[in-house]
Structure 1
Amino acid sequence: MATNKKMSPTTPVQFLKGVGPYIAQLLEKKSVYTAWDVLFYLPIKYIDRRKLYTIKELPIEKKQSFIAKIKSFNVKTLRNRGRRLLEIKVTDGTGTATISFFQFNEGYLRKKFPIDSQVLFFGDVRYYSGSKTIAHPEMEIWEEQFIEEGDLSSADQKESFKKIYPFYSLTEGLYQKTIRSIIEKNLEDLLTAVEEESRSVRDSGQVQISLTQAFRYIHQPPEDADLDLLSLRVSAYHQRIIYDEFFYLQLGLLSKRYREAQNQTFLIVNEQKLYRKALGTLPFELTGDQKTAIEEIKNDLSSSRPMNRMLQGDVGSGKTMVAFLTALFAIESGFQVAFMVPTEILASQHFKNLLPYEESIGIRVELLTGSTSTKNRNRILTDLEQGNVDILIGTHALITPDVHFRDLGYIIIDEQHRFGVMQRAKLKNKTKFKDGEYSPHVLAMTATPIPRSLSMCVYGDLDLGIIKEMPKGRKPIKTKVFREKQRNKMYELIELQIQKGRQAYFVYPLVEESEKLDLKDATLMHQKLADVFKDFKVGLLHGKMKAAEKEAIMGRFKQGEIHVLVSTTVVEVGVDVPNSTVMVIEHAERFGLSQLHQLRGRVGRGSANSFCFLMAGYAQSEESRFRLKVMEDTNDGFVIAEEDLNLRGPGEFLGTKQSGMPDFRLAQIVRDSKLLKVAKTRAQEILRLDPELENSENSLMKKIMLERWGKRLDLSLV
C-alpha cells in the first residue's frame, strides 16, 4: 500500500508502491526492511534480451537469449564418469535445443519449469551430439504470450523487451517480475531520498558518477551497457557505491580515533627500574620485533593521548612477554594493570608464568575467574580497591560490577576479538578518578594475523604493531596430511616421539558421539587411544569439565605425567607446554585455516623438532583440500590469514557478532582493497582540515556518517 508522504531512506518497505504487508514479509527474508534496503537490493546477474534469436538462428559459442517451451526431462548416467546428467528438451517451432545440468535438483526444476511452460533462456550455446546445447543457463518463466513458430517480430520490436534485464536473488513466493515491478514503480522516488556529498570523492578533474546515477544504472542498465562488467559487479557504477560504503566507514573510524585522542590520560614516564630488573631475569633474549613493539608502546604511554594499540603476532611470537614488560612501566608510575583473557585455562597459565616475578622484582599479581572461591574473591577485590594489587589477570569476571580498581591505568586484552565491543567498553569504564574521568591506555592482542585490508575496516581506530620474528631456537613445524588408511603409520611416528620423552595432543571437533554427525569424538577416542598407547598415560580435556578438573589435567600434562592429551579445541588459545612436539587434528577438513594454524601453534614452542599431523576424512570438498595443502606448504600466519580471508570472507573470518565487522551491502574487502585505500586517504584529507566536522560544508557528510555508522562505532559524542 503506497503513501503520498515524501520518501526517506528509513521509509518502511511495505509503504512502497506495489508492496504491501504480504510482499513486505517476503522481502524481510532477504533483509529488505526500508527504502534504502530496496536500493541496495542489487541484481546478482543480468539476462541479455537486446537481441532475441530463434533456436534455428542461435549462433554457436556465444551467450544468447531465446524463448522456448519445455518438452521433456531425461536423466542419464554418464558411463565414463559415473555422474548424472539432466537433459531438458525445448522447442520454439523453428528447431529443438538441449538444456543440460550436471548439478541439479530435478524435483525443483520440474516444479518451477513444468512441461509446456514458456521459458526465457540465456547462456553459452554449444553444438554437442547433433544438438544446440546450453549448459546451466539462466532460466526465467516467460509470462507474455507465446510466439508461435519462432515469430519474434512482436517481441523483438518492443522497446520494453530489448533490454538487459536484472536478475535478483529471490525467496519462495517472490518472483523476478514482482521485484522488477517494485523497482520500476519506486526507483525515481527512491533516488530523490538518496543523500550524498560530492566532496566525499576527491575532484580529479573528471566527470564524477553520482550515487543516484550509479543506482539507476545498476537497476536499469542502458542498452549499451557492458554486460560482463555488470555481472561481475566491477562496473564504474558499482565502484561508486562501494567507494561510498568504504568512505563513510573510514570517516567514522578516523573520527572516533580523533575523539579518543582528545581524552585525558595518564602520562607514564619513569626510570624503568622494574623493566630493567625484569629484563635481567629473563632466560632468553628478546627478538628485534619484540624490542620494536616495546619501544612503540613506551612512546604511546608517554604521550598526551590514550594509547589504543593492536599488537598482532603469530602463535608463539612472544606477545605476552611484551605485554607484561610494558605493564611494568605503568606499575612503576603507580598505576594498576588489568589483563583480560578469554578462557580460564589461559588466565591460569598467564598467572603461573608471572608469579615468579612477584618476588624477584617486587610486584603483586592476582587471578580472578568465575571459579575463584568466594573467600579469595573477596580478599582480591578488597586489596584491588585499596591499590594493593598491581596486575589482575582474569576472564569476563573482570568486568562484573563489584570489581573496583583504585588506579587502573593500563588494560591488556588478549585475543580481543573473542570479546564483544560492550565487554571491552565495560573494562575501560573501570577507570574513574575523583578529579574527572580518564581514558586508560589499552593494548589489544591477537594471535590471528589480520590482513591489512581487513585491519583498515575493523581496527582503523587503532595503531597497529606486528611481531613476525620468532624467538631464537624455534624450528618450523613440519605438517603432513594423513588419510584414514595411514592411521597406524601416524601412531608409530607419535610413539617414537613419546619414547624420546616428548608429548602429544589429539584434538577432536566433538566432546561426545553425535547421532547426526559421523565424526570421531574426544571421549570415545580417549578410550581407544589409551589402548593404542597402552604403555603411556593418556588424558582427556574438554570444555564441559569443571574448571578445577581442567586445571588439574593441564597441570599434569605440563609436568609430564600425561604423555598424550586428548582434547577438544579448548586448547586452541594460548596453552603453552614446550615439551609437546606433536599436534594431531582429527577431521582436519572440518576446521578453518586460522583455527588449524592456532591449534598447530600449541607445539613447536621448544627447541625440539615438532610435527602437526592433519588426519583428513575421505569426504573432502575442493576447498577443504586446498586448506590442508596451504597448511602443509607454510607456517607463516600472515599468508594463512590472507588465504583464510579469501576463502571465508571477513564476517566468518573474524566472527561478525563479536568482532564488530561492518555489514557492507556491496563492498568486498579483499576484492575492493584498492578502493578502500583511496576512501581512507580522502577521509584523512577531510579530517585533517576539519577534525570534528564542524564546518557547515561538512554538515551533510557528518549527518550521513552518523546515520550509517554512529551506533555501530559508538560515535554518539562525535
Structure 2
Amino acid sequence: MFAAIDTPIQYVKGVGPKLSDYLARKGLRTILDLLEYYPRAYEDCRQARDIRSLVEGETVGLKAKIIKVSHIPIGTRRKIYDVLVMDGSGSVHCKYFRIPFRGYFERFRPGMEVRVVGRVVNYRGKIEFHHPDIYEFNKDENLDALVPIYVETEGLTSRKISRFVKAAIDSLKTSKVAVPETLPKWLRDKYRLRGRLESFEKIHCPPPDSGVEFSKLKTPYHYRIKFEEFFWLELLLARSHEKLKTHSAIAVRSKKNLCGKILANLPFSLTSDQKSAIDEILKDLSNSYPMHRLLQGDVGSGKTLVAFLTAVEVIESGYQAAVMVPTEILAEQHYKVANRIFSPHGIKVALLTSKSSSADPKEILAELKSGKINLVIGTQALIQEKVEFRNLAYAVVDEQHRFGVEQRQELKNKGISPHLLLMTATPIPRSLALTVYGDLDVSIIREKPPGRVPIQTRVVFQNKRQQVLEFMAKQTSKGRQAYFIFPLVEESEKIDLKDAVREYEKLVIEFPKIKFGLLHGKMSSEEKDEVMQKFRKNEIHVLVSTTVIEVGVDVPNANMIVVEHAERFGLSQLHQLRGRVGRGSLKSFCILLMGNAVSNESRERVMWLEKTNDGFELAEADLKIRGPGEFVGTRQSGALGFKMADLVSDIEILKEARQAAKNLIAMDPELKRPEHIVLRETLEERQRIFIG
C-alpha cells in the first residue's frame, strides 16, 4: 500500500531494496518516476504478421525463431551485430549498428523463440529491421492485447518494466491514493484534457479495444501528457518574458538620419528580410524595457549588417554598443567591415581581443570608460573585469550558441539593462524557437543578397575519392583555394575514420605542387592565426582542417570544400561548413565524401544537402532525424524535460500549450489567484528541471 505518489519505488511489488538501488541509478526513484517512464511503442499482438508480409516503413511485431547471432566487422574497429530470425514464411536480418547495452546479444541463442518489434527498412534492396526490440516469447502472454514496449537497459527488460508499472497502478487504485492534478480545472476543461491518473493507466495498460491511435501515440491520454510537458516549459518562458517588461532600459529614439546616409553609400541594397529585421529591432529599442531578441539567418544572409545599422541608432542617441563574437578571426573581420562603414561618418570603432586590438589596449579601455569609443567589437575579452563602459545601451552576441548563459549575462552587466540582440547563423527549427528560445522575440532573414552564385553540392563515395582530389588540384591550378575537412584531429584507436594530421601528411606527398596548411583545435591561437593569415593571402592553397573553420572564416577566393566522412556530421553543421565557400562571385563546389559502409538512413540524410541550399529546410530535417541535441547540446535537450512529447510530430500540441501559457500569464502574471496556487508551486519545482 502506498502513502503517496512520491513513495520510494522499492515498495512496488517485485522491486525491493536491491533492485530499487539499480533503478535509482537509472533515474527511477519514486512511484511517479515509474509512471512517467512511458512506453516508446506498442506491439499489437492481435494482428498476426509473418516475415513475407513485411512492408518498408511500417512498425510491426512478429513471432519468429533465432537462426544465427553474428557480427560483421566494419573497418578495423567497428562491428555491425546481426540477429537472423525466421518464421514459416521466410527470414529477416535484425541489425544493430551500436550495442543497446552491455550483454544485450548474450541473451540470444539459436533456436530461441522470440518476438521482434521494430520499423521495417529497405537496406540495399533487402527488407531488414534496424535496432528492433527482441525479447523471448512468453507462451502465457496475452495475444489479444496491445503490449507496451519500453526502452530496455541491462538487467531490466521491457516485460519486467511493464509488470512493475502495472503493480504500481493497481496499488494506487487499491489504496485510493490521490494522484494530484497539476493543472487547474478551467484549463483541463478548455483543452479537454483527461485526468492525470486515468492517462497514466491507459498509456501503460491499453484497453482491449484500443485502435491504431495507440500505436501512433495519438490518444487523448497521450495528448494530456504531451500538452502538460510542453505547458510547463512554455509557462516558465512566458513568465520570464513578462518579467523583462518590469526592468527599465534606455528608450532609443534617434531623430537623425545617419543610418539612411550610410545605406545610401553602400554598393548594394538591403533585402526585404533585412529591412523587416531592422524595423523589428528599432521598434524594440524604442521601448523603455530591455529588448531580448534573437536574429537568425542563413549563412551569408547579412545579419551582421543589420546589427551594425541598428547600432547606429543607439550611437546617434549618445550611447555605446558592443558586439561579442566567439573567435578572434571573426572579431577582426567584423571590425574591418564596421570601420569601413562607420569611420567616414565620425563613429569610432574599436577592436578588443586577448591577442590583438585596434590600438593600445590601455587606451581602448580608457576610451570605453570615457565614452569616446562608440562601438567595440571583441571576443570574451569584452567581459573582463577591467573593461568598463560609460553608457552601454546595446549588446550584440554573435554566434550566440557558442557562449554560455553566464557569458551573455556578463556582457549585459557592463551596462544598466542594455538591449540584447542574439545572432545565429544556424537556422533554428520552429519548434525549438518556441521552446529553447521561447522567451525571445525572433527575427528571421531567409533571403540571400542578390548576385550570390548557388553552391554545387555532390555526395560522393570513397571509390571516387581520387577523382575528387584531382578536381581539387585542378581548381588550385586556376588560382583558387579549397578546404579539406576531417572529423578527427588525429588517428583514433576507437573510431575507424580518416584524420586531419595523417591525411595532411599524405596529401603533401601526393601533391607536391600544392601548398597545404593544417588547422585544428589543438593548435594555439597564435598558430591558428598564422595559418589563417597565410590562407587569406593565398600562401596556402588547400587548408586541411577540422570543424574549427565552421564559423568565422571568410575567404572569397576559396571556391571548394571537401568534407571527409560526411555521415559523421549533422545537416546543420554540414550546411555551416558549406557556407565557407560561395562567398564571392566564383562558381563554388561542396563535395561530401561518404564511407562505403554507411546505412541507407545516413546516405539519405546527407543527400539532403544536394536537394537544397536552404538552411531552414535543412534544420527542420536535421531535427526530425537527429533530435534537438544537434542544436542545443545533448545535455540541454535532455533538460527540456520531455519524456513523451516530440518536438517534430507534436508541434501543433506545442503551439496550443504555448498559447495557453501566454494567455494564463496575461491573465495572472504572478500566478497569485487561489486557483493557481498549485500551479505556481509546481512551476517553481519544475523550474529546477529546466534551468537547474
Given candidates 471, 492, 497, the residue that maps to 1:519 is: 497
1:404-423 C-alpha deviation (Å, 9 max, x unpaired): 33322111111112222233
Distance change >3 Å, CA 61–CA 629, structure 1 → 2? closer
Q: SS where residue 556 of structure 1 aligns? A: helix
Deviation at 1:267, TM superposition (A): 0.6
Asked if the contact 2:188–2:194 (Cα under 8 Å) also holds between the matched residues in 1, the reply is no
Separation (CA, whole Å) in 1 of partners of 2:8 and 2:70: 49
Q: CA RMSD in A?
A: 3.7
Corresponding residue of 1:481: 459
Does 206-215 or 542-551 show the bigger shift?
206-215
Deviation at 1:631, TM superposition (A): 0.9
1:390 correspondence with 2:368: no
Q: SS where residue 582 of structure 1 aligns? A: strand
Asked if the contact 2:323–2:395 (Cα under 8 Å) also holds between the matched residues in 1, the reply is yes
Asked if the contact 2:9–2:28 (Cα under 8 Å) also holds between the matched residues in 1, the reply is yes
Does 655-664 or 417-426 show the bigger shift?
655-664
Corresponding residue of 1:498: 476
Distance change >3 Å, CA 405–CA 193, structure 1 → 2? farther
Q: 5+ residue gaps in structure 2?
A: 55-59, 72-80, 119-127
Distance change >3 Å, CA 64–CA 394, structure 1 → 2? closer
Separation (CA, whole Å) in 2 of partners of 1:482 and 1:648: 22
Aligned length: 658
The one-letter code sitting in structure 1 at the alignment partner of 2:107 is K
1:147-546 alignment runs, 5 A limit = 164-176=146-158, 178-187=160-169, 189=172, 192-199=178-185, 201=187, 203=189, 208-226=193-211, 228-357=212-341, 359-371=343-355, 377-432=361-416, 439-546=417-524
The one-letter code sitting in structure 2 at the alignment partner of 1:225 is S
Does 642-651 or 395-404 show the bigger shift?
395-404
1:440-486 C-alpha deviation (Å, 9 max, x unpaired): 11111111111212211111111111111111211111112233333
1:35 correspondence with 2:31: yes
Distance change >3 Å, CA 705–CA 410, structure 1 → 2? same
Deviation at 1:670, TM superposition (A): 0.4
Deviation at 1:179, TM superposition (A): 3.0
Distance change >3 Å, CA 162–CA 639, structure 1 → 2? closer
Corresponding residue of 2:545: 567
Corresponding residue of 2:4: 7
| TM-score of the pair, normalised by structure 1 | 0.82
Deviation at 1:301, TM superposition (A): 0.5
Does 176-185 or 388-397 show the bigger shift?
176-185
Asked if the contact 1:597–1:637 (Cα under 8 Å) also holds between the matched residues in 2, the reply is yes
1:102 correspondence with 2:98: no
1:310-368 C-alpha deviation (Å, 9 max, x unpaired): 11111011101111111121122222222122223222322233233463222333333
Q: 5+ residue gaps in structure 1?
A: 78-82, 90-96, 125-133, 147-154, 433-438
1:635-667 C-alpha deviation (Å, 9 max, x unpaired): 111111111111101123332446796131100
Separation (CA, whole Å) in 1 of partners of 2:186 and 2:309: 43
Distance change >3 Å, CA 178–CA 620, structure 1 → 2? closer
Deviation at 1:255, TM superposition (A): 1.4
1:117-132 alignment runs, 5 A limit = 121=115
Deviation at 1:198, TM superposition (A): 4.0
Q: SS where residue 552 of structure 1 aligns? A: helix
1:102-154 C-alpha deviation (Å, 9 max, x unpaired): 1268996885366998x675879xxxxxxxxx997853464xxx8xxxxxxxx
The one-letter code sitting in structure 2 at the alignment partner of 1:518 is D
Corresponding residue of 2:76: none
1:566-605 alignment runs, 5 A limit = 566-605=544-583
Distance change >3 Å, CA 507–CA 300, structure 1 → 2? same
Distance change >3 Å, CA 629–CA 287, structure 1 → 2? same
Given candidates 646, 651, 654, the residue that maps to 2:629 is: 651
Asked if the contact 1:252–1:713 (Cα under 8 Å) also holds between the matched residues in 2, the reply is no
The one-letter code sitting in structure 1 at the alignment partner of 2:355 is S
Asked if the contact 2:639–2:690 (Cα under 8 Å) also holds between the matched residues in 1, the reply is no
Asked if the contact 2:179–2:197 (Cα under 8 Å) also holds between the matched residues in 1, the reply is no
Percent identical residues: 45
Corresponding residue of 2:123: none
Distance change >3 Å, CA 533–CA 355, structure 1 → 2? farther
Q: SS where residue 289 of structure 2 aligns? A: coil
1:41-56 alignment runs, 5 A limit = 41-46=37-42
Separation (CA, whole Å) in 2 of partners of 1:25 and 1:293: 54
Separation (CA, whole Å) in 2 of partners of 1:203 and 1:563: 67
The one-letter code sitting in structure 2 at the alignment partner of 1:292 is S
Asked if the contact 2:639–2:691 (Cα under 8 Å) also holds between the matched residues in 1, the reply is no
Q: SS where residue 233 of structure 1 aligns? A: coil
1:18-33 alignment runs, 5 A limit = 18-33=14-29
Deviation at 1:298, TM superposition (A): 1.0
Asked if the contact 2:199–2:225 (Cα under 8 Å) also holds between the matched residues in 1, the reply is yes
Deviation at 1:285, TM superposition (A): 2.3
Q: SS where residue 433 of structure 2 aligns? A: helix
1:152-183 C-alpha deviation (Å, 9 max, x unpaired): xxx69xxx997544343232233456434432
Corresponding residue of 2:121: none
Deviation at 1:98, TM superposition (A): 8.7
Separation (CA, whole Å) in 1 of partners of 2:446 and 2:533: 30
Asked if the contact 2:561–2:591 (Cα under 8 Å) also holds between the matched residues in 1, the reply is yes
Distance change >3 Å, CA 342–CA 32, structure 1 → 2? farther
Separation (CA, whole Å) in 2 of partners of 1:631 and 1:423: 33
